[in-house]
Structures are given as structure tokens and as C-alpha cells.
Amino acid sequence: MAFFAPVTPDVSEMEKRHLDKVRKLASECVVLLHNDGVLPVPADSKIALYGNGARHTVKGGTGSGDVNSRFKVSVYDGLVEAGITVTSTSWLDRYDKDLEKYTQDYYQLIKEFAKEKQVDDITAIFQNPYSGPKLPLITKEDIEASATDTAIFIITRDAGEGKDRSQSKGDWYLTDEEAENLKTIAENYSKIIVLINAGGIIDTSFMDTYPQINALVNISQTGNLTGHITADILTGKAVPSGKLSDTWAYRYEDYPGYADFSSNNGNTDDEYYKEGIYIGYRYFDSFGIEPRYPFGFGLSYTTFDMETVKSVVEDDRMTLSVKVTNTGKTYSGKEVIQVYFSAPVIPEGHLDQPFQELIAFEKTGILAPGEFEIKEVSFSLSSMARFDSVTASRILEAGNYIIRVGNSSRNTVPAAVITVMMTIQTEIMKNLFADTVSFEELTNPGKGCEEHKDADSKAIPGLQRFVLNPESVPRSKTRYQGVRVDFEDERKGEVLTMTNVRAGNATVSELVAQLSVEEMARICVGAFFDPGTVKDSVVGAASVQVPGAAAETTDRFLRDRHIPSLVLADGPAGLRLQPHFKAGPDGCLLKGGEVWGVVTSPFPEDTPEDAVDHYQYCTAIPIATALAQSFNMDLVREMGEIVGEEMQFFHVHLWLAPGMNIHRNPLCGRNFEYYSEDPLLTGKCAAADTEGVQKYDGCGTTIKHFAGNNQEDNRMFSNSHISERALRDLYLRGFEIAVKESQPISLMTSYNLLNGIHAANHYELIQNVLRDEWGFDGVVMSDWFTSQDTSFMGNSSDVYPYSSSPLCIYAGNDWQMPGCKENMDDIITAIETERLTLGDLQFCTMNILKACLKLT
Ligand code: BGC
């Protein structure tokens, strides 16, 4: 077969353009957490650089979220290229040597483990995560040789799917060697800058231990140019304007439910979301707990003044005009206007409500010193309605809603008050997520209101007040799907094809009505067992047409029915493909060149000499959390465009991203693939990412993992017990925003169970909420191997069964990925034994064919 990938390794014009774009934009994803004026440093400085990420900067996380870019720029490379003289080379060289040895040993261990356990390398890696060698201690000689007063210490962490992070040294805490080195640095240098190169939050109590630290920067993981982006920020070529998308606590124990999270309590079978809606700042602000760095916080090299100069309410929409002035003298910069609302709390209203919630945000353009911009920030008043399980509806409760404006969750001033005279039901729904167990949830103790009492009582009397006109509030009532009808074949005697459908000579349902049960069952599972596909291929790399892509769908009906096969590739920090592969002279894909983290398979010795090399180098963009930190939705959209253009170029139809689970706890192993603890920010980012990708013809996003997938340990069998309120107002909310604002072509369900039912089998979740309530018109796929025996990967449970293939179809989880023969057989048997109706299978098939029509 012919491959789409270029046969030259040359850097294309597109690759250059994308790298330039990332370099230009991604500095907005960096968050400056502390700076006493030491930053920016002159670009001709001499700097001692220490830490595991100095020359081995992590560009993004591991697992399916990894992106195989052509190269990566470390912080060391970035600083040197910026003109800085790095004077700690003897220490850096020692670490490199240790790392080389560690990596060789690790590589060996993986190979041996894989051989012994009869598993592939990827499974072996999952079960033996790479951690890195111990850091060498900084010596007196290192310090003397560095001959500078300035030190940068970089703390690097890596995480990935299949395993949660832990509250241990080397993860949440510093390792002993890191702590020792930081102490040495604090005692021997007078200008100290600490960089955090992690996908999420770490313990930052070293800021108390070493008050000598002059600056702290969360450089995050901004793709293959992380080193350049960091150097741009450190030297002032770019001014930081990122804001935290999560609350950074003083201690891990400050997070709600920390003791029970994932493996912390020894039980990964059942996860009770006892904190209810109190996640992140919703918790810290309501319970009066001081965060170290609040949600929405981030400094600049300049300062800003923010003032709401006008507030208008028109129908359901409030628009605030906010004047932002750069009050600094030297640097230009951007600021983020954040609008929060405080809903009436008990006893005024009957719903339990957090102290405040983010309702809108906007980022200014670049403001020169002294310059100002008046920016409009607007939101619909009905988006303040919250779910009430008593009436099974979203309600805007009667009472006063205080609108607050500021530049972090902890730095706002009241700007307006909106009075709702009587409670309005904005959306009438159904309670759909009953659980068999019940548990107490946290409720707001009102500490946030106490803290703000003084400020509020001074500010509120003078505030502009609006009374909501109930007539202007849009209301809706969902009509839920009944039993799905079977389509009869009305065009007997004809053989309808997708070409007929495209030409308008047949409808999708007419075509579907002609397909046999077996044909439909085959369409509804991936192409894993089709002739020609790599049968024994590794997890998450099962595509043949586009090597390294996660999967493709069947091409079995291409000839007879003109149904094309689609290629699906991972993200979210770019496109995950195999960067270099070889094809035999007969056009057949040859072994070798597969990449999984640090392990790359060599091309075997018997590779034919006339094999043709192919190259697929993709741009690694910032991880999702870093994108969210930009608070700039134009930026996120542009990053989506990078991915969309590369998808089109490499012939990928569906991007298995963005990931949009809520950062419930900082130790979830996949947080880096997700945006934030806040559903509004999450939903807006996913919508912007989707708009960017879907701007390109034939390209679609797959928002994932739907829903309640907030931990990685025991991910296939962990049962998330979540109240209907927390689900609808927090965990589903981001998905709802993304679906309604951007109509992603596809969605991936999650591995976990939700209140006792596997997400992929959850009719209420997929049919009632996603399709009926939100109007999702795309295709739904399972996560990989969801309804298969994956004990070979170390997954099994004594408590919960595997997800069921027929139930996927019943629920409207159209595709089962990557699919297997058993999935198909189970579906066929379920139809034969009337456990599944023909209409259910036809419905899923139709959704798949509709996606094919959109994408090809
Ligand atoms: C992950 C998905 C990913 C899939 C394909 C799974 O292990 O959970 O997010 O898209 O693999 O690689």
C-alpha cells in the first residue's frame, strides 16, 4: 500500500511555521508565581543551572499523551541560545552520565520484563514506570567553578496514564538530593530562581524553607520548544501572562478528600466524591482555607490596575466594561480579567452554593507601560443557574447575585449586584444518575462570606444593581429519546452506497437498513482484526495507513458500500504518530522505529536495503494544563489549528483529544492532559481547541474521557460515586460547554464506572444527557479495550465486571476501540437473543456513517 507520510526527513515549511507559532504564543502559558525583581535576567548573564530537567526538560507527559516530535529544546539549550553562559557544566555532565547508565539499565529491564511476562514493551513500561537516577549533589567545586551569584534550579516531574502520582519524595515532594541541592544553592548564591517543569502541582513548601529564593516560575511543559519558551521568559524577551488553572495549596492535606483519593486509602474500587461540588477554589474559598497560589493567580513583569467602568444588563446578558491599565514603567504585558459570581446562599436560597464561581474571563492585548484598554466581558445570566435534584432542573434561585471582578480568585472586588426576584427553572431535565449507595457530601460552612463580609458590606451599597427580568431568561425542557425504531429496507433490489448518500440519492438510514447484523457489528468495532492490520500491534498504535496512530476503523465495506476507513490519532499535546518508519518495496509496513516514551524499537538487521523511509514529525504543543493557563482562547484555537493542519497533512481524521476531566485532585496521573479544576475554563478551552482543529476539512476532535475519570490507578474498574449535582455542575459541565459551543465530531467514553455502570454502557449518560439534553450530533467511541479482557496488561478486578459490548450499543457508544472478534460476536448474539434491538445497532451504525460523511 502507499503511505501518506513524506519520504524525506527535511523540515517542511509547515513544521517551521508551526514551531514559530508555538514559540510566539506559548510564553503566555507560563505562570510567574514569585519575583522580587530578580527576573528578568540580562541575556548576557552567567548562570549556574542545576536540576534533573536542565538538559532533560520534559516537554509533556508520558503514555498516549506523549508526542513524538523531531527534537526538543531543553532549558539548557534555550538559555545558551539566548546568550546566557551556563557555568555549572561539570555538575550537568555528571548527571548526564548517571542518566545514560540509568536509561540503558531501564531499557534492558523493560526488554527482560516484556520477554518474561510475554507482554509488549508498552505494557512493560506501564508496569515499570521510568523515574530517573538520583541527582548528584552540588559540591564546593561546582559552586566555585560556576563563578556566578545566580543559580537556576529546575524541578522536573513526569506523569502519565495508567498510574496516579503520589505524595512521595520525587513526585509531590522534593527528593532528598533535590532538597539538599536547594539548600546548598540557598547558602551559596544570592540570586536564586526556581523553575517547575511539571504537568501539575507539586509541594512548594521550599518557598518557606528558603526565603532566599528570589523567583519561582511554573514553566510547565510547553512542548518541544519548552527550553526556548523558558529562556524567552527568563530574559524578558517575553513577559509572563499565564494564570494558574488550579489552586496550589500550602499542603497536600489542604485538598478536600485527599486521604481517600485513589490509592491513598488503599481502596481503588470505589471512589466516593464526598466533597461534592467543593473542588479547587470552590472549596478553598468556601471553607476559608488560604491557598499558597490561588486559582487564576499569576504575576507579570509589570503591574496592572483594573476597574469596572460600566455594567449593562440586556435581556439575559450582562456586559461589563473593564478598564485595565499597565501601571508599570518598563515592561509591556497582558492581564486576565476574571469575573466570578457569588450566588445567594442558604438560608436565602435552598441550593447549597460555593462562595464564588468563575463565570467569564477575557485577556487584554499587549499593553505598553501607561497604556490602557477597555475590554468587554460578558456572560448570560442564566449560566448562573445550578442543578437542583429536588426539581430535576437547573434553577436560578431568587436572591442577590454578587458579580466580582479581579485578576485571581482571591483578588476581586464586587462590581455589580443582580437581583432575581423569583426562582426561575431554566432547564427542566430528569434525575439520571441514581446510585445504590448514599453518602454525605460537604456543604458550604459560609466561611468565604465571612471573609468577604467587610469588603462586601462597604462595596455593595454603592454598587450598580440590576433586577433580572424573568421574561428574558431562556427556558428549555428536554424531550428524551424513547425506544429506537428499526429501519426497514425500503430500497430492496438496490445496493446503496455512501456515494449514493453523498450524492443525495439515498439517506444514511436507507443505507443502514440494507446492512446485515454482522456487517453492522463489524462497523461498530475498530479494524483491529481486519486483514492487513497489525494484529499483534501495541496498545494505542494500531493504525496501518498512518503508523503510530492509535487505530483505524474498518475498510471492509469500502469496495461494496464505499464506506471509508478513518484514522484516529492521540493527543492532546500535538499529534502522536511514529516519527520514522520504513516500508518494504512491496509497500508493506516494516517493523521497527516504534516509539513509546524513552523506548524506541530499532529497525531489525534484516530490514531490506531498498526499504523506503517515511517521516511523520509532529509539533509538540503545550500540554492542556499549560494551554488553560494562558486564559487566552484565541491562543488555544491557534494551537488547535496547528494540530488540524498536521492531521490533514498526515491523513488523520480524528484527534483523540482534547481531554477534559476536571482536576479533582492534584495527584491524578493524567491531569496534565486535562485543563483545569474549573469547568468553565475547561469547556471553553476544549471548544477553542475543537474550533481550531475542525476548521480543517476532514478533521475532528474526540473530547474525552466522558465522564468522571479522575484517577488512573485501577482505571478500568474504579467506580466513581458522584452525586447528580456534582456531576451536572462540575464533571459534566465542561463537556456540555464544549458540545454546545463547538460540536466536536466525536467523544470518547471513559474506562471507569459511574455510580455502578461502566461509562461506555451508560445509556443515561450517553443518550439522555449527551444527545438528548445537549444535542450532541457526533459519534461516540469507547476508550481502548474497554469491553475486552485486558488482564494481559495487568488489568483485572474481583469487584466489578468488564464493560459489556452489547451494552455499549444499547447506550449509544457507537464504536468499540480498537475492537476484537469477541466484541463483534457478543453484539450479534445479543441481537439474536433479543437483548438488543436492531434499532439500537442501526442507530450506532448510523452515527458512525454520519461521522464518515463529515470527515471524508
Ligand atoms: C487512553 C486514551 C487513548 C487510547 C489510545 C488509552 O489507553 O486512555 O486516552 O486515546 O489509549 O491510545
Q: Say if ligand 1 is within 6 A of residue 291 CB.
A: no
Residue type present at position 355? F
In short, whether 161's Cβ falls inside 6 Å of ligand 1 is yes
Query: In testing the pocket of ligand 1, which one of 672, 784, 785 has its CB within 8 Å of the most ligand atoms?
Result: 784
* H helices present in 695-732, as ranges: 724-726
CB of 784 closer than 6 A to ligand 1? yes
Confidence (pLDDT) at 538? 42
Our answer on whether the CB atom of 570 is closer than 6 Å to any ligand 1 atom is: yes
Q: How far is the CA of 63 from the centre of ligand 1 (A)?
A: 8
| Ligand 1 contact, 530 CB (< 6 A) | no
Q: Helix crossing, 679-694 with 733-742: angle to 10°?
A: 30
The answer, yes or no, to whether residue 455 has pLDDT greater than 80, is no
Which residues have a Cβ under 8 Å from the Cβ of 417 and sit 6 or more positions away?
400, 401, 402, 403, 460, 463, 464, 465, 466
Structural contact between residues 507 and 457, judged by C-beta atoms closer than 8 angstroms = no
832-856 burial code (b ≥16 CB/10 A, e <16): eeebbbbebbbbbbbbbbbbbebbe
Q: How far apart are CA 421 and CA 335, in angstroms?
A: 35
Q: Which of 605, 415, 505, 510 is nearest to 849 (CA)?
A: 510
656 CB within 6 A, ligand 1:
yes
DSSP string, 265-323: GS--SEEE-TTTT--THHHHHHTTPPPSB-TT--B-SS-EEEEEEEEEEETTEEEEEEE
Task: Give 776-818 as a 3 state SS string.
Answer: CCCEEECCCCCCCCCHHHCCCCCCCCCCCHHHHHHHCCCEECC
Find out whether the beta carbon of 673 lies less than 6 Å from any atom of ligand 1: no
Closest CA to 413 of 459, 444, 451: 459
C-alpha cell at 5: 507520510
Pocket test for ligand 1, best of 122, 546, 570 (most atoms within 8 A of CB): 570
**CA-closest residue to ligand 1 atom 12:** 540
How far is ligand 1, taken at its centre, from the CA of residue 784, in Å?
Answer: 6
Task: Report the pLDDT value the prediction gives residue 436, as an integer from 0 to 100.
Answer: 92
Q: Ligand 1: does its nearest atom lie under 6 Å from the Cβ of 658?
A: no
Give the whole-angstrom CA distance, residue 850 versus residue 743: 14
**DSSP structure string for 360-377:** EEEE---B-TT-EEEEEE
Closest ligand 1 atom, CA of 540?
A: 12
Q: Are 848 and 526 in contact (CB under 8 A)?
A: no
Q: Is the pLDDT of residue 93 over 60?
A: yes
CA of 517 to the centre of ligand 1 (A): 28
Please provide the size of the chain in residues. Answer: 856
Residue of 70, 124, 1 whose CA lies nearest to 555: 1
DSSP letter string over 107-126? Answer: HHHHHHHHHHHT--HHHHHH
Nearest atom of ligand 1 to the alpha carbon of 162:
7
Classify the C-alpha dihedral 180-231-634-686 as positive or negative.
Answer: negative
Closest atom, ligand 1, to C-alpha of 64:
12
Nearest CA among 65, 245, 2 for reference residue 670:
65
Model confidence, pTM:
0.97
Instruction: Indicate the top mutation candidate among 125, 127, 161, 578 to test ligand 1's pocket, ranked by most ligand atoms within 8 A of CB.
Output: 161
Q: Which residue has the cell 489542604?
A: 254
Can you give the pLDDT at residue 541?
Answer: 60
Ligand 1 contact via 783 beta carbon (within 6 Å): yes
Q: Which atom of ligand 1 is nearest to the CA of 63?
A: 7
Q: What is the C-alpha R_g of the chain? A: 27
The CA 818 to ligand 1 mean position distance, Å, reads 10
- Displacement of CA 588 from its chain's centroid (Å): 35
When pLDDT is averaged across residues 196-224 and rounded to a whole number, the result is 98
Which pLDDT band holds residue 125 (cuts at 50, 70, 90)? confident
Give residue 692's identity as a one-letter amino acid code: G
Residue 339's pLDDT band, with cuts at 50, 70 and 90, is very high
Q: Is the pLDDT of residue 534 over 80?
A: no
The pLDDT of 102-130, averaged and rounded, is 86
Average pLDDT, the chain: 95
200 within 8 A of 625, measured Cβ to Cβ: yes
For the Cβ of 552 lying below 6 angstroms from any atom of ligand 1, the answer is no
CA 261 distance to own-chain centroid: 19
Whether the pLDDT of residue 500 is over 90: the answer is yes
Residue bearing cell 496516579: 164
Mean local confidence (pLDDT), 120-139: 87
Ligand 1 atom nearest to CA at 704:
9
The closest residue, in CA terms, to atom 8 on ligand 1 is 783
Q: What is the pLDDT of residue 778?
A: 98
List the single range of 86-100, 522-536, 813-827 with lowest mean pLDDT: 522-536
**pLDDT higher than threshold 90 for residue 349:** no
Q: For residues 506 and 500, what is the distance between their CA atoms, to the nearest angstrom?
A: 5
Per-residue pLDDT tens over the stretch 620-637: 999 999 999 999 999 999
Residues in Cβ contact with 752 at an 8 Å cutoff, skipping those fewer than 6 apart: 708, 709, 711, 715, 716, 717, 718, 719, 720, 758, 759
